[in-house]
Amino acid sequence: MSENWTHIPIMAAQIADLLLTDPNGVYVDGTLGLGGHTKFFLSRLGPQARILGFDKDEEALKMAQERVNDPRLLAFHASYTQAPQELKKLGLPGADGALFDLGLSSYQLDNPARGFSILHDGPLDMRFDRQNPLSAAVIVNEWPMAELERILRDYGEERNFTKLALAIMQARRQAPITTTGQLAQVVEKVYGGKRGKTHPATQTFQALRIACNRELETVETVLLSLGDIIKPGGRAAVLTFHSLEDRLVKNRFKELAQSGQWLLVNKHTILASYEEVRQNRRARSAKLRVIERIKL
């Protein structure tokens, strides 16, 4: 099953160089995905090392376990916000390092059945965790116009948020919007068709995905609990893919550094190399920030 999906972990070598300070340490992979980062990290770590891998997507989690196939990985079907509790249950004082990769996995994006893709028609789903009752279809067909405007403006950074919300309201009155293709067409009409390389529905899809998975709230929660995850001397690395997440990380890291208990490892964001972007277009919007806990 897992071999059908290709997955190239973004900036794996750069992250490993910055994060893996103890070859036999304990690490957290906050978004296990298809296991690309974890597999690379384990190739550099010693026999006593452990990685706690978290993912809300049960299907991706199973594939990651198959691909990594290493007893040093402990996999959890849970949000990375559960990392402090799981570390405590294992009797660990904290992790030596943690990576939070806030991007979608290739499996989620390329699988039409998951409803993340604009390019391939599929059910309007977008849930990381299939047990989550709130899908993108529920938002699009049931939420009031004011809420649609809010998420399109705040999460999609859409300048035409009112026009788009109105178009969705009008379309759903005719018939429920149940597929990604139907929604993409509604947005295309507002923009007068496709123009340029970026599909006009890209920001609308982003807004819905963030809303149904409560992504920004989840990021805020984990940023506030870094002290319960990282032990002194340990590091946290965060990979972001859009400005909303990066702003949250930048501001929180700045607060932590000002407290005197944390140190910014890189003051400016680290970007993927030209060569990596050439080989993997999904790396082009990635930004990496790393911070180190220096004392209790």
User: DSSP label at 268?
Assistant: S
* pLDDT (average), residues 19-27: 97
Express each pLDDT in 59-104 by its tens digit: 889 999 999 999 999 999 999 999 999 999 999 999 999 999 997 7
Domain boundary assignment for the chain: 2-107+216-293, 115-214
CA dihedral (241, 242, 244, 249) in degrees, to 10, reads 30
Express each pLDDT in 153-167 by its tens digit: 999 999 999 999 999
User: DSSP label at 201?
Assistant: T
User: DSSP label at 264?
Assistant: E
Residue type, 53: G
Cβ(232)–Cβ(96) below 8 Å: no
Report in angstroms the alpha-carbon separations of 54 from 35, 152, 202, 280.
Answer: 10, 29, 27, 24
Phi and psi at 60, nearest 5°, equal: -60, -40
More confident residue, 197 or 18: 18
Cβ(29)–Cβ(53) below 8 Å: yes
Express each pLDDT in 93-134 by its tens digit: 999 999 999 977 767 777 888 999 898 899 999 999 989 999
Tell me the whole-structure pTM to 2 decimals.
0.92
**CATH 3.40.50.150 describes domain 2-107+216-293:** yes
> What confidence score (pLDDT) does residue 183 get?
97
Residue type, 126: M
> Tokens representing 81?
């916000």
User: DSSP label at 103?
Assistant: S
Domain 115-214: state its class.
mainly alpha
Express each pLDDT in 221-264 by its tens digit: 999 999 999 999 999 999 999 999 999 999 999 999 999 999 99
